[in-house]
Amino acid sequence: LTGYGEIFEVWLDGACGEGPDGRTQRYDWDRYYATVRALQPGAVIAVCGPDVRWCGNEAGHTRPDEWSVVPGGLRDAERVAARSQTADDADFARRVRSDADDLGSRAALARLDAAGRHDELVWYPSEVDTSIRPGWFHHPDQDDQVLDADILFGLHRSATGGNATLLLNVPPDRHGLIAAPDRTALAGLGDRLADQRRRTIRGLRRCSSGGFQPDPADGVPIWRPDPADPRPTVTIGLDGPRRGPCGPGGPGGSGGQRGQRVEAVVLRERIAEGQRIEHVVVNGIRGESRTVLGECGTVGNRRIFAVPPTVVDAVEIAITASRTTPVISEAAVILAP
């Protein structure tokens, strides 16, 4: 912590590296935390730590609804070595279980109260960790088992679009280099992420109350609906024809008609003010018709919600349940390729 400049995360795995003589390693967690705070006060402490929560598996999966606001007792859940990985194998992802499928819904919190556990609620966001290879270290005989760019892109969208961060393990070989198959896969992931950014648009946004305005704190545009708004809704208009390589009506075009093909919706909360949204309904508008494209639960830092690729004139995102007035920092759509 003193020889590498600024460190942004300290990742503490609870696995015990015990030898064949049966000796048990004991961890002085509180002393470790104090040392990190003293030497790197800007770093977050993850997994066996109080700042960033392990998602509960090592296969790169998020929960359908991932809450960052969870019972405080989860901060101690991974200090027990028996719950953590003890071997470098691909089988661990299938054997490990999550703490629970539902950590922070009203129903989950009510069950804790009913059981007499009145845990304080803490901000403890999830990090998804997985490896580009079957295990956590480089083995030459696994060069043909590296996750390809399409799989990596799916993991990235699922994690960062499911209110979590993604920690992707890329192990160096014995020469300290990243192997060629890993480099190829990562380059392909970069290409796909750049393409997704190009296809992400805000369109013309219209809000049921209020509108996107710069936050006085940092100038970032946010939308704070009127507290009396019973169904806060933002509508993203996709005006103008979609042009194919041969112009309107050419391959990939829409024949000059208005509307564009949408494959996903992006929604972000202003998490500096908490995580509040519990349910969202997405409608596609085409002319005078309206079609439900899908619904989702939590949003948090970012929700990328895939919908059946559909040509629409506008997308309506309606917040149908929240714990208090939501605060939105982004509403956008991802156009289909």
Q: What is the full per-residue pLDDT of the chain (337 aa) written as tens digits? A: 999 999 999 998 866 666 667 677 778 889 999 999 999 999 999 988 899 998 877 666 788 999 999 888 787 776 654 555 555 544 434 332 345 788 889 988 888 777 666 678 899 999 998 999 998 999 999 999 999 999 999 999 999 999 999 999 999 999 999 999 999 999 999 999 999 999 999 999 999 999 999 998 889 899 999 999 999 999 999 975 444 333 333 333 334 457 999 999 999 999 999 999 999 999 999 999 999 999 999 999 999 999 999 999 999 999 999 999 999 999 999 999 9
Instruction: For the beta carbon of residue 239, count every other beta carbon within 10 angstroms.
Output: 11
Largest CA distance in the chain: 75
Token pair of 24 as six digits? 């048990």
Token pair of 293 as six digits? 């494209």
Q: What is 9-198's CATH number, 3.10.129.10, 3.30.390.10, 3.20.20.80, 3.40.50.970?
A: 3.20.20.80
Token pair of 141 as six digits? 């005989």
Sheet strands side by side (includes 53-54): 53-54, 126-131, 164-169
What pTM, to 2 d.p., does this model score? 0.85
Helix or strand (DSSP H, E) at 281: strand 277-286
CATH numeric code, 200-335: 2.60.120.260
| CATH 2.60.120.260 segments of the chain | 200-335
Instruction: For the beta carbon of residue 16, count every other beta carbon within 10 angstroms.
Output: 14
Helix or strand (DSSP H, E) at 180: helix 180-198
72 in Cβ contact with 120 (< 8 Å): yes
